[in-house]
């Protein structure tokens, strides 16, 4: 296993304090550049970004013999999904859990022979095998995992059941939420106007204090935003994607991990493209894209510029507003970019003394970390805990105030935190947030324009995917669609050229 160090991510121990980067990661590309085309060369396509969207687009196009250049700001592949290794343990810093419910992802896992090589997050054999619950208006208590699940399920089911049919009537086809054969767009747009807070006001009288607290924390855990700025529709859509059952929440969202890590899957996809001729430049942030007749010019902050007939821009939603376009983007798209998405979640791994908490799950609301999950044992014989928080703005920036993070873990459950490992997606200039959860009406107003192209530039990202938006699968879907469109256009041009010769 060849690993190299990335400059992404933070590590904290009491002895060292917070350290940036220097973490082993399979996704680091060394040397960072491989391109030998002469200056001014026009590629078939430039892919900006080496997250799963970009990796899929590049792999699908190089597979079809297109000439492709990949440009990436970071030193590694994977974007918001990557794995670091510390003391022999793999830590997923962003996207983590995998499932056969995600068709694009599962296809890739099969292709690279990683579909059966899995680890599970929850273990029941250690001492603290229980769920702790601490919400306003109820005494903190210790319950079984099953009871914890039942409280969350009952509250969630009431919350999402807006149509009396468990969302099946209003969202029968979550991959085509806005325009499908069963529900007219106006009806969906009506629900899309509502925030999670609007819906909560309608149903809160049906819930106990515990159910209310757990529900609000769960909604905020998922959206990474606030009750007011998160759309109800995003929860309806998620429920539909979970096959309309909270029984699937655990198995889909928080159970199965790749034993070799997400960065290994990303690395294999990348290597596949390289084997088919991909050129690339990492550590190359892009600042502008100019469309010309028949080609585009992509300029890096270094001053270097690159040309291609088509561009697949996978830059995340909250970062796109920093890129200059010529001709400018439409007013509608620019408005969408200026608003952006609402997810500024926190995810922190902690190594905590002893094995007991490896079987613990718990929640506390409000708290800078609202949920904690036991996730196995470290090589030092300690429990590995993953903590999640919502957007706390500038009040909680873990790399600036690690003691606050330790405190937040200890408020979830007494524990001795020995080490923390995390990535702050909110302060990262190349993500400016976590996975994309949208505000009320954002889908109705902006989904179509975000998915549309701008001349030679195709925009592809998990942040506006048709299906599993805000997930790895959505990224792969978007990369595949962009690649297919570009390959089809190239074939059409070639056929026209051949015909005109005869």
Does 48 contact ligand FAD by CB under 6 A? yes
Please, which residue, 159 or 270, has the CB nearer to ligand FAD? Answer: 270
To ligand FAD, the closest distance from the beta carbon of 209 in angstroms equals: 29
Assess 365 for contact with ligand FAD (CB under 6 A). Answer: no
Distance CA 245, CA 253 (A): 13
Say whether residue 230 binds ligand FAD (CB under 6 A).
no
Q: For ligand FAD, which is the closer residue by CB, 226 or 431? A: 431
Q: Give the C-alpha separation, 83 to 264, whole Å.
A: 8
Alpha carbon of residue 109 to chain centroid: 17
Helices 209-223 & 145-160 angle (0-180, nearest 10) = 80
Look at phi and psi of residue 49 and say left if phi exceeds 0, alpha if psi is from -120 to 50, else beta. Answer: left
What count of other Cβ atoms lies within 10 Å of the Cβ of residue 327?
A: 9
* CA gap 463, 287 in Å, rounded: 20
Query: Roughly what angle, to the nearest 10 degrees, separates helices 209-223 and 196-203?
Result: 170
Tokens at 377, concatenated: 């044992």
Residues 121, 376 contacting (CB under 8 angstroms): yes
Q: Which two tokens stand for residue 451?
A: 């998915």
**Segment interacting with ligand FAD (CB under 6 A) among 231-239, 267-275, 304-312, 313-321:** 313-321
Stretch that binds ligand FAD, among 117-125, 228-236, 450-458, 471-479 (CB under 6 A): 471-479
User: Which DSSP string corresponds to 454-490?
Assistant: BTTEEE--GGG-SSSTTSHHHHHHHHHHHHHHHHHHH
Beta carbon of residue 55, minimum distance to ligand FAD (angstroms, whole number): 7
Closest approach of Cβ 205 to ligand FAD, in Å? 33
Residue 498 CB burial class (10 angstroms; 0-12, 13-18, ≥19): exposed
HSE value, Cβ hemisphere, 13 Å, CA-based, for 450: 31
Of these, 215, 462, 481, 487, which contacts ligand FAD (CB under 6 A)? 462
Residue 398's alpha-carbon distances to 56, 406, 414, 425, in angstroms, are 32, 9, 19, 11
Nearer to ligand FAD, 53 or 382 (CB): 53
- Per-residue x/- track, 336-355, ligand FAD (CB under 6 A): ---------x-x--------
Q: Is 285 in the site for ligand FAD (CB under 6 A)?
A: yes
Comparison of 56 and 162: residue with beta carbon closer to ligand FAD: 56
Cα–Cα distance for residue pair 250/261, rounded to 1 Å:
19
Binding segment (CB under 6 A) for ligand FAD, from list 163-171, 186-194, 311-319, 372-380: 311-319
| Helix (H/G/I), strand (E/B), else coil: 52 | helix
Q: Which is nearer to ligand FAD, 215 or 465 (CB)?
A: 465
What residues does 23 pair with on adjacent strands? 6
Verify binding: residue 74, ligand FAD, rule CB under 6 A.
yes
Binding residue for ligand FAD, selected from 50, 457, 480, 481, defined by CB under 6 A? 50
Whichever of 108 and 210 has its CB closer to ligand FAD, that residue is 108
Least distance from C-beta 320 to ligand FAD, angstroms? 8
**Tokens of residue 332, six digits:** 């509608």
Q: Is 228 annotated as a binding residue?
A: no
| Residue number, 152 or 311, with CB nearest to ligand FAD | 311
Q: Which stretch binds ligand FAD (CB under 6 A): 3-11, 22-30, 92-100, 179-187?
A: 92-100
Q: How far is the CB of 313 from ligand FAD (least distance, A)?
A: 9
Instruction: For residue 3, say whether it is annotated as part of any ligand binding site.
Output: no
Q: Strand pairing partners for 471?
A: none
Ligand-binding annotation for 483, yes or no, is no
Number of residues engaging ligand FAD in binding (CB under 6 A): 39
Please report whether residue 238 would count as binding ligand FAD according to CB under 6 A: no
Residue 72 in the binding site for ligand FAD (CB under 6 A): yes
Residue 493, marked binder: no
> Out of 9, 51, 261, 340, which residue is the one contacting ligand FAD (CB under 6 A)?
51
Name which of 27, 35, 10 is nearest 75 in CA terms. Answer: 27
**Is 398 among the residues that bind ligand FAD (CB under 6 A)?**
no
Instruction: Answer whether 469's CB lies under 8 Å from 104's CB.
Output: no
Q: Candidates 33-41, 183-191, 427-435, 443-451 — which segment interacts with ligand FAD by CB under 6 A?
A: 427-435
- Give, in degrees to the nearest 5, the angle at Cα 467 between 317 and 161: 105
Residue 190 CB neighbours (<10 A): 11
Q: Does 97 bind ligand FAD (CB under 6 A)?
A: yes
Q: Do strands 324-326 and 256-258 pair parallel, antiparallel, or not at all (unpaired)?
A: unpaired
84 lies in the site for ligand FAD, by CB under 6 A? no
CB closer to ligand FAD, 183 vs 222:
222
Tell me how far, at minimum, the Cβ of 439 lies from ligand FAD, in Å: 17
Site membership for ligand FAD, residue 386 (CB under 6 A): no
Sequence ranges of the binding site: 53, 72-73, 388
Sequence ranges of the binding site for FAD: 53, 72-73
| Residues forming the site for ligand FAD (CB under 6 A) | 48-54, 71-74, 79-81, 94-97, 285-286, 314-316, 319, 345, 347, 425, 430-431, 434-435, 461-462, 470-475
């Amino acid at each position: 296993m060849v690993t190299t160090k990335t400059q992404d991510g933070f590590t904290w121990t009491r002895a060292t304090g917070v350290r940036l980067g220097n973490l082993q990661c399979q996704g680091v590309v060394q040397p960072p550049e491989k391109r030998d085309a002469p200056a001014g060369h026009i590629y078939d396509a430039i892919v900006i970004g080496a997250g799963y969207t970009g990796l899929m687009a590049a792999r699908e196009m190089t597979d079809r013999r297109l000439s492709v250049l990949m440009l990436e700001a970071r030193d590694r592949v994977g974007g918001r999904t990557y794995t670091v290794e510390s003391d022999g343990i793999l830590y997923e810093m962003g996207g983590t859990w995998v499932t056969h419910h995600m068709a694009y992802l599962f296809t890739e896992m099969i292709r690279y022979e990683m579909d059966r090589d899995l680890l599970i997050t929850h273990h029941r054999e250690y001492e603290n095998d229980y769920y702790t619950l601490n919400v306003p208006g109820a005494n903190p208590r210790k319950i079984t995992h099953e009871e914890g699940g039942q409280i969350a399920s009952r509250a969630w089911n009431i919350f999402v059941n807006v149509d009396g049919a468990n969302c099946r009537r209003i969202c029968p086809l979550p991959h085509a939420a806005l325009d499908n054969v069963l529900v007219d767009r106006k009806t969906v747009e009506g629900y899309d106007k509502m925030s999670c807070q609007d819906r909560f006001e309608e149903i809160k009288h049906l819930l106990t204090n515990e159910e209310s607290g757990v529900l609000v924390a769960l909604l905020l855990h998922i959206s990474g935003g606030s009750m007011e700025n998160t759309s109800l529709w995003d929860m309806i859509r998620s429920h539909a994607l979970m096959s309309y059952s909270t029984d699937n929440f655990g198995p889909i969202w928080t159970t199965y991990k790749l034993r070799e890590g997400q960065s290994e899957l990303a690395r294999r996809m990348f290597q596949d493209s390289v084997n088919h001729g991909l050129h690339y430049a990492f550590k190359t942030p892009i600042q502008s894209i100019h469309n010309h007749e028949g080609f585009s010019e992509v300029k890096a902050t270094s001053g270097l510029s690159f040309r291609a007939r088509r561009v697949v821009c996978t830059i995340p939603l909250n970062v796109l507003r920093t890129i200059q376009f010529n001709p400018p983007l439409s007013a509608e798209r620019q408005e969408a970019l200026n608003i952006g998405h609402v997810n500024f979640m926190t995810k922190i791994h902690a190594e905590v003394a002893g094995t007991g908490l490896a079987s613990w799950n718990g929640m506390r609301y409000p708290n800078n970390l609202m949920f904690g999950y036991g996730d196995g044992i470290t090589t030092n014989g300690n429990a590995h805990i993953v903590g999640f928080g919502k957007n706390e703005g500038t009040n909680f920036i873990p790399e600036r105030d690690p003691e606050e993070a330790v405190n937040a873990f200890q408020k979830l459950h007494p524990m001795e935190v020995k080490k923390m490992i995390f990535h702050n997606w909110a302060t990262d200039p190349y993500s400016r947030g976590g996975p994309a959860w949208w505000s009320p009406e954002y889908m109705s107003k902006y989904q179509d324009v975000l998915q549309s192209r701008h001349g030679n530039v195709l925009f592809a990202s998990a942040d506006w995917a048709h299906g599993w938006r805000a997930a790895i699968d959505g990224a792969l879907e978007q990369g595949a669609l962009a690649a297919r469109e570009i390959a089809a256009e190239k074939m059409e041009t070639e056929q026209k050229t051949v015909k005109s010769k005869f």
